[in-house]
């Protein structure tokens, strides 16, 4: 599945380079119009990141998210520093189809596992951001990629599997926003190690061939942000490539 993505700051569409708020690219486009275009082209899942909420939960863009969800027909998963059950409930009440949980799933897996059991595993996507160490082992990062968690992927995944985790978004942070290709070896390894999970690949997509290769690795979905916004290829081309791969 192709999952188009946009990031929001102050209701405006932006992209960060490797998660760095000092390296922001602004796009002069309307969020609802852009997501609606993706939906009308055939996208069955959309991805939205609330960067204001990621920095400060008190500034979460709930009004903007509510307006987007109300005006875009395709399901939307929303993330951005979700820290409390109240935030989960608020987003679900707006009609968000899945809440994306990142750092909290790594630091407090029992808490997040309880949410999976309470609300249902289909209501969550667990986001695991990784950087490869010198041995090529993916190490999980937290807090907007600024801190190492001291955990390998298996350390972060195992406690959540017992709670029924299904959807996992994995980003190789060294590839994000760089557009020199995703880490195919990483996703191949993860898919083979955890075939029961529905993997969403994110980071580095820069050509249509990337999508075909990822589908051959049996990932469930591919998050595409910058490549679509920058016009590297169109959503129609991406969807056709995925379907025909």
How many whole angstroms separate alpha carbon 173 and alpha carbon 74?
27
Contact 140, 153 (CB under 8 A): yes
- Kindly give the interhelix angle for 153-161 and 184-193, rounded to the nearest 10 degrees: 40
**Residues 110-134, buried b or exposed e (16+ Cβ, 10 A)?**
eebbebbeeeebebbbbbbbbbeee
Residue 130 carries which DSSP code?
Answer: E
User: Residues with catalytic annotation?
Assistant: 7, 129
Taking the C-alpha atoms of residue 6 and residue 51, their distance in angstroms, rounded to an integer, is: 10
């Amino acid at each position: 599945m192709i999952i188009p993505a946009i990031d929001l700051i102050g209701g405006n569409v932006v992209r960060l380079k490797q998660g760095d708020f000092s390296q922001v690219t602004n796009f002069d486009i309307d969020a609802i119009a852009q997501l609606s275009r993706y939906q009308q082209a055939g996208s069955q899942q959309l991805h939205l990141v609330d960067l204001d909420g990621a920095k400060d939960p008190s500034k979460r863009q709930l009004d903007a998210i509510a307006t987007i969800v109300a005006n875009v027909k395709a399901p939307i998963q929303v993330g951005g520093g979700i820290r409390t059950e109240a935030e989960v409930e608020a987003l679900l009440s707006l009609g968000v189809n899945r809440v994306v949980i990142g750092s909290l799933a790594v630091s407090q897996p029992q808490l997040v596992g309880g949410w999976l059991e309470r609300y249902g595993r289909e209501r969550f996507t667990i986001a695991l951001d990784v950087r490869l160490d010198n041995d090529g082992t993916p190490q999980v990062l937290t807090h907007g990629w600024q801190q190492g968690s001291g955990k390998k992927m298996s350390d972060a995944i195992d406690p959540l599997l017992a709670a029924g985790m299904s959807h996992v978004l994995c980003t190789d942070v060294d590839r994000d926003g760089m557009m020199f290709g995703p880490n195919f070896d990483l996703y191949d390894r993860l898919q083979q190690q955890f075939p029961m999970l529905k993997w969403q690949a994110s980071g580095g997509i820069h050509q249509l061939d990337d999508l075909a290769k990822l589908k051959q690795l049996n990932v469930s979905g591919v998050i595409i942000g910058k490549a679509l916004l920058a016009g590297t290829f169109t959503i129609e081309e991406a969807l056709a490539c995925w379907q025909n791969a």
